[in-house]
Amino acid sequence: MHNAAFKELGLNCIYLVFDVLEESLGEAVNGLRSIGVLGFNVTIPHKIKIIKFLDELDDSAKLVKAVNTVIRRDDKLIGYNTDLYGIERVLREVDELNRDLGLIIGAGGAGRASAIALTNLGFSEIIIANRTFERASNLAEQILELGFSAKPIPLTDLPRYASSANLIINATPLGMAPSLISETPLKRDHIRRDSIVLDLVYNPLRTRLLIEAERAGACTISGLKVLAAQGAEAFKLWTGIDPPIDVMYSAALKALRGEKI
Ligand code: NAP
């Protein structure tokens, strides 16, 4: 999607993908610093471990405690979290979003970005469900410290809280291809007709959770929208140019469908 936007804007830039082993992360970061890249993204499993190799963190990365985008300014590498921006942007586009109760499933990097996004959107209450209860508890504590109402719950209580949530965000890999594709954190019976369900998993495009939510009559949002929005923000940080997000979204969609971009 980045290369599609570079092409559309006629920019002489290229986005490349590398597999980096955990033990080589520091060397890889210093290599990127030396060759003078505009910046780079970092994904699972390096979003937290990368922090010690960077010079500065933007507030977004400090709040989420994870980095997905790095920019090089002079000889400094600065870490950002554009997942936070992407989630917030996509939710701001929802007409008449009811901000009473937001339920987040997951308390890893994406779960934390979701929770901060909901505070920025002014949700009255944020429920955090996670497999490891302690992580949900720590995140809820951070949200409380920011002055918002938050409650951690174990995954077993999910159906009960889901039935009253206005917004549900899946921030776990449940439903993701290939190995977790048949999983869903919730079934249709526990999803309100008038709720919004955002699945951060974007492969497949229609996850089991989104299918369950559609069957319940809820409004669904695919994680691909967030992927494009977080990518657009990273693009802007690297180049100073607002990219054509629709071009990025279509390129990502084609890539997912195995079509030529
Ligand atoms: P992460 O930091 O590794 O966190 C994973 C979270 O999922 C943790 O809360 C973990 O619970 C939970 N989890 C993992 N396996 C589980 C299982 N089998 N059953 C129940 N809970 C499980 O990963 P992340 O960066 O937050 O990413 C989470 C998902 O969001 C991934 O699928 C990723 O692709 C997606 N994502 C999408 C976008 C986007 O742009 N659309 C952006 C970021 C992430 P524990 O704490 O118990 O381990």
Q: Which tens digits make up the pLDDT trace of 127-179? A: 999 999 999 999 999 999 999 999 999 999 999 999 999 999 999 999 999 99
CATH architecture type of domain 2-83+225-256: 3-Layer(aba) Sandwich (3.40)
Q: Which residue among the candidates 47, 65, 151, 225 is catalytic per the annotation? A: 47
How far apart are the C-alpha atoms of 35 and 244, rounded to whole Å? 27
CATH class of residue range 95-224:
alpha beta
Is position 47 annotated as part of the catalytic site?
A: yes
Tokens 């500065």, residue?
Answer: 56
Q: Check pLDDT > 90 for residue 261.
A: no
Residue 227 Cα: closest atom of ligand 1: 40
Q: Check pLDDT > 90 for residue 74.
A: no
User: CB neighbours of 71 closer than 8 A, spacing ≥ 6?
Assistant: 38, 39, 77, 78, 80, 237, 238
Q: Report the DSSP beta bridge partners of residue 70.
A: 40, 79
Which residue is closest in CA terms to ligand 1's atom 12? 172
- pLDDT, position 75: 87
User: CB neighbours of 141 closer than 8 A, spacing ≥ 6?
Assistant: 150
Torsion angle of the four alpha carbons 173, 177, 178, 183, in this order, in degrees rounded to the nearest 10: 60
- pLDDT, position 147: 97
Please state the pTM of the whole predicted model. Answer: 0.97
For the chain, residues classed under CATH 3.40.50.720 are 95-224
C-beta of 49 in contact with ligand 1 (< 6 A): no
C-beta of 173 in contact with ligand 1 (< 6 A): yes
C-beta of 107 in contact with ligand 1 (< 6 A): yes
For the chain, residues classed under CATH 3.40.50.10860 are 2-83+225-256
21, 254 Cβ separation under 8 angstroms? no
Tell me the pLDDT tens digit for each residue of 123-132.
999 999 999 9
Give me ligand 1 centre to Cα 142, in Å. 19
How far apart are the C-alpha atoms of 178 and 166, rounded to whole Å? 29
